[in-house]
Amino acid sequence: MAKHMKVAIISSHDLEGGAGKAAYRLFEALRRAGTDAQMFVQRRASLEAHVHGPSGSWNNVKAGLRWRLDHAPAQLTGARRGEFSVGWMPGGMAMGLKEFSPDVVHVHWVQSGFVSLGELASLSVPWVWTAHDMWPFTGGCHYDNDCERFATNDCRPCPMQRSRPNAPLARWRLRAKTHLTNARMAFVAPSQWMAGVARRSPVARKATVRCIANGIDLNRFVRLDREAARSLFGLALDRVVILLGAANVGSDLRKGAAQLEQALARLAGSDSLANAQLCVFGTAVRRELVLHGVPVLEVGHLRDEESLVALYSAADLFVAPSLQDNLPNTVLEAMACGLPCVAFNIGGMADLINDGVSGRLAAQGDVGALALCIQQVLSDSAWRAAAGRAARRRAEEYFSYSRLAAEHTDLYGQLLLTKSNLA
């Protein structure tokens, strides 16, 4: 059935942002498995023939304008772009799908004025919605900073609406989402934590929620020669390299860079940091500095996966100090490249990291515990090597493209069977 199934992957981006990359990797996995998958995006970066959407600088400008227009109602309440999305502005999704005529539509991250809630409600074929962040289940926030009002208070008052917390926008959007669920659609949660968010939300309490983790191309993300990789970035050969990275890691407080800085401050002057170097990607600029006695190299944004693989291969440890997150691609990529990972035990981190085997998990928000985990990993080179091998094995066992495609085609098949039974 899968080989004859036509699946439309809908995403604002293909190769930009964590959600866009995860959607593109599913698209790749499905096509490799023989499914006729096509991807429809608002801004196209790839040259893949089966990815459809505008590209070029002028289209990027138009996409940015659409994002501003879609966000305009939220701006009146003091909500910030990037933290809160509305989803009212239609983007002509139906016209893009008409020629392809898919059997199943799979929606991913579709904010920035690409797809409206009204367009989702009008879908006439079975469809799936993957929650790459909390937005499908809230009144507008992408992460709620543990506010939980989407589950308990109908999203009011909304702390994201900084100037008008009692404005009804978040409540209206939450209620609009509750009308989207029916027997012909299902939610995919990439982590057990996100599945729990779905089941607490009025949007998905009565809906099908399937937990299917993101996948990684295990042939592309492999560990390269360490010395060669370090020479590409000018990293010292005789130091233990700690790697930190995420989109906008320096400016997004949720990514936890401040907590990592506090952890390093606690370790300042210790033997474990005496021979360490911190390397950071996802920053706005490239620069070198010293932090609590540790040399720091910021390499800016890495646009291609080859550079990412080289940087993971150059490191000894990956730290992901996010305060709230789903199933971050960076941790999965680091694991595939044989890196032990340290993180707070939040979101989907426990789905990725086998604590004490392939990495270490610190109690949520506990900077002292994070420092101790980093110290323990840095102090034992034999354990680091064994944990790196365990991380790679875990990626192979749970996050392969073959597993990703099989679990999704099984879900698609169930939805198509439900459709035929309802007919």
Supply the DSSP string of 260-287, one letter for each residue.
HHHHHHHHTTSHHHHTEEEEEES-SSEE
Domains of the chain, by residue range, sit at: 2-215+400-422, 226-398
Which fold does the domain 226-398 belong to in CATH? Rossmann fold (3.40.50)
Instruction: Summarize the confidence of residues 112-120 as an average pLDDT.
Output: 92
> In percent, how much of the chain has pLDDT > 90?
82
**pLDDT, tens digit (0-9, with 9 covering 90-100), for 128-173:** 999 999 999 999 999 999 999 999 999 999 999 999 999 999 999 9
Tell me, yes or no, if the two domains 2-215+400-422 and 226-398 fold the same way: yes
With cut-offs at 50, 70 and 90, classify the pLDDT of residue 59.
Answer: confident
Does residue 114 have a pLDDT over 60? yes
With cut-offs at 50, 70 and 90, classify the pLDDT of residue 422.
Answer: low
User: How far is 27 from 90, CA to CA, in rounded Å?
Assistant: 23
**pLDDT, tens digit (0-9, with 9 covering 90-100), for 179-223:** 999 889 999 999 999 999 999 999 999 899 999 999 999 999 999
Mapping DSSP to helix (H, G, I), strand (E, B) and coil, where does residue 378 land?
A: helix
Q: Are 74 and 171 in contact (CB under 8 A)?
A: no
Structure letter (DSSP) for residue 124 = -
Instruction: Summarize the confidence of residues 297-315 as an average pLDDT.
Output: 94
pTM attached to this predicted model: 0.95
What is the structure's pLDDT at 4? 79
Strands (E), 97-205: 104-107, 127-130, 185-189
The closest of 17, 39, 40, 13 to 27, measured between CA atoms, is 39
Widest distance between CA atoms in the chain: 70
What is the structure's pLDDT at 232? 95
What is the structure's pLDDT at 209? 97
Which fold does the domain 2-215+400-422 belong to in CATH? Rossmann fold (3.40.50)
What is the structure's pLDDT at 237? 94
Instruction: Summarize the confidence of residues 265-289 as an average pLDDT.
Output: 92
Tokens linked to 402: 């073959």
With cut-offs at 50, 70 and 90, classify the pLDDT of residue 3.
Answer: low
Q: Cα-Cα-Cα-Cα dihedral of 337, 341, 344, 345, to 10°?
A: 80
With cut-offs at 50, 70 and 90, classify the pLDDT of residue 58.
Answer: confident
What is the structure's pLDDT at 78? 97
**pLDDT, tens digit (0-9, with 9 covering 90-100), for 333-381:** 999 999 999 999 999 999 999 999 999 999 999 999 999 999 999 999 9
With cut-offs at 50, 70 and 90, classify the pLDDT of residue 115.
Answer: very high
